[in-house]
Structure 1
Amino acid sequence: MSEILNTAIIQPDLKWEDSDANRDLLGKEINKLSDEVDLIILPEMFTTGFSMNAKILAEQTEGDTLNWMREKADLKNAAVTGSVIIGEDDNYYNRLYFVYPDGSYKLYDKRHTFTLAKEDQTYTAGKKRLIVEFKGWKIMPLVCYDLRFPVWARNTDDYDLLIYVANWPRKRVDAWDALLKARAIENMSYCIGVNRTGEDGDGYVYNGHSAVYDCLGKPLTELNREEEFVKEVSLEKDSLHETRKKLKFLQDRDKFSLEL
């Protein structure tokens, strides 16, 4: 168990539908990280960009990218997370992997597929939330469009950290900024959002704004950065729990159940 969780967020300019190039690009950045890092966070569809070309790009459940994540987790003795296009049982998934240092993993299939881009016509939506236990921390990882749906993220499990990996375009980045902060505040949780930069093959432009917020919505990173960057940020569990104990906001939350 660790009271400090050292995270690393990587905001890249992804190469369109080029898995080898993206793994090479991200691998070089991971190799530079300090030995203190516990958790490395990559964007949504970090090997391809936000592509609907799943029939050609999809990997098997335990394919090249998962093996690459395992190699990097072993190399840095850290967990690695991000989402990848996966084909399984005649379906395609926007699948987030949370890979532990020992090579074991948990997975989460994006629940809210982005209908505006017709993601729902290509990818099968997930049906289960995921709470990861790692170094004494409870972590809930989600994917991009999930950010717009607060009920799915509601902190009914007393998790400590909420993560969103994304390909969130510049034209709607104000919503990204506002909702990341809101999710931190309403859930009394650290909240990390990791986005990409650059332009994809469909002409959409991304301007990053990856960020880390504490449970009161205070930013722990420089906000609104649009260029490629890597940032290591330490999270403190004692501070989180002391704030929760003092303010007691989560004790007043509404009870509800989800219908899927």
Structure 2
Amino acid sequence: MQHLKLALIQTDIVWQNAAQNRALYTKKINKVQDQVDIFILPEMFSTGFSMHPEGIAETMQGETLSWMKKLALEKNAAICGSIIISEENKYYNRFLFVKPSGEVEIYDKRHLFSLAGEEKVYAQGNEKLLIVYKDWKICPLVCYDLRFPVWSRNVEDFDVLVYVANWPKIRVVAWDSLLKARAIENLCYVVGVNRVGVDANNYEYSGHSATYNCLGEKLTHSTPNHEGIEIVELQKEHIAKTRNKLNFLNDKDLFEVKN
């Protein structure tokens, strides 16, 4: 498949209320007229960025994942984002990629946000994920992972990096700059989906969800501080032409990430 159409869902999040958030997302997604391939939701889209998972964490048999499967089937599209998962007496900030077939692929956030004490509450993930969907290779990462270029490095020959986030307004310049940098250095599309609104801890989020091509050119322009859905179509031809012409990935350093 030479084209991949994405829907970036930039939205406010009702604090720690998964049922209400699912209902709101359903309404938003049902308004999308285009036939898209992937709907992308923010980090911890069902609860907000909470450091109190007790009572709000779900299992892999929980209602939010069931909702994602049902919606993916109805829309004949993948749906993804991260939620709080409880598993084997641990909590994870887990990215879920749900295909229309019902198949689920998971990535547990590696870089836990120490400024908020995330590492004291959630277990660290140690495995990178490469999703193959409609002949596209997609690498999903979560929020704070964006600050660490070694973990984001394109050693798997992926086509798209997807970051889902709750990235606060006060540091949004870093968000903008790093998304662009990851696209340029990895010669891939980079998609970042961030929330808007104010959470229960009084942190403000301004969105700035965006898509960049392999040259760091911005393809989407979300309205800061406002909810919205942006549709963007990625093209395989752009990746091939850029990499064939520049070949920068051939000169990349070899390294090993230790857990």
Correspondence for 1:115: 114
Which amino acid is 1:114 matched to?
A: F
CA distance in 2, matches of 1:235, 1:162: 12
CA distance in 1, matches of 2:120, 2:243: 41
CA distance in 1, matches of 2:11, 2:223: 14
**Cα displacement (A) at 1:245:** 0.6
Correspondence for 1:169: 168
Q: Deviations over 1:183-203 (max 9, x none)?
A: 000000000000000000111
- Asked if structure 1 preserves the Cα contact closer than 8 Å seen for 2:222 and 2:230, the reply is no
CA distance in 1, matches of 2:110, 2:33: 33
Which amino acid is 1:182 matched to?
A: A
Is it true that 1:20 corresponds to 2:4 in the alignment?
Answer: no
Correspondence for 2:63: 64
Correspondence for 2:128: 129
Q: How does 1:29-40 map to 2 (within 5 A)?
A: 29-40=28-39
Correspondence for 1:242: 241
Match of 1:57, SS? coil
Q: Deviations over 1:98-130 (max 9, x none)?
A: 001111110000000100000001000101000
CA distance in 2, matches of 1:166, 1:3: 27
**Cα displacement (A) at 1:145:** 0.3
Gaps of 5+ in 2: none
CA distance in 1, matches of 2:16, 2:222: 28
- Asked if structure 2 preserves the Cα contact closer than 8 Å seen for 1:30 and 1:72, the reply is no
Correspondence for 2:141: 142
Correspondence for 2:206: 207
Q: Deviations over 1:71-112 (max 9, x none)?
A: 110111001110000001000000000001111110000000
**Cα displacement (A) at 1:53:** 1.2
**Cα displacement (A) at 1:248:** 0.6
CA distance in 2, matches of 1:205, 1:119: 18
CA distance in 1, matches of 2:190, 2:115: 25
**Cα displacement (A) at 1:240:** 1.1
Which amino acid is 1:154 matched to?
A: R
Could you say what the CA RMSD is over the residues aligned between the two structures, in angstroms?
Answer: 0.9
**Cα displacement (A) at 1:62:** 2.1
CA distance in 1, matches of 2:48, 2:84: 10
CA distance in 2, matches of 1:136, 1:33: 24
Match of 1:65, SS? helix
- Asked if structure 1 preserves the Cα contact closer than 8 Å seen for 2:165 and 2:192, the reply is yes
CA distance in 2, matches of 1:108, 1:85: 12
Q: How does 1:90-105 map to 2 (within 5 A)?
A: 90-105=89-104
Which amino acid is 1:46 matched to?
A: F
Which amino acid is 2:112 matched to?
A: T
Which amino acid is 1:183 matched to?
A: R
Runs of 4+ in 1 over 3 A off after TM superposition: none
Q: Given the two structures, how large is their TM-score scaled by the length of structure 1? A: 0.98
Q: Given the two structures, how large is their TM-score scaled by the length of structure 2? A: 0.98
Match of 1:84, SS? strand
CA distance in 2, matches of 1:250, 1:64: 42
Gaps of 5+ in 1: none
Q: How does 1:3-18 map to 2 (within 5 A)?
A: 3-18=2-17
Percent identity over the alignment? Answer: 53
Q: How does 1:177-188 map to 2 (within 5 A)?
A: 177-188=176-187
Match of 1:178, SS? helix
CA distance in 2, matches of 1:62, 1:161: 28
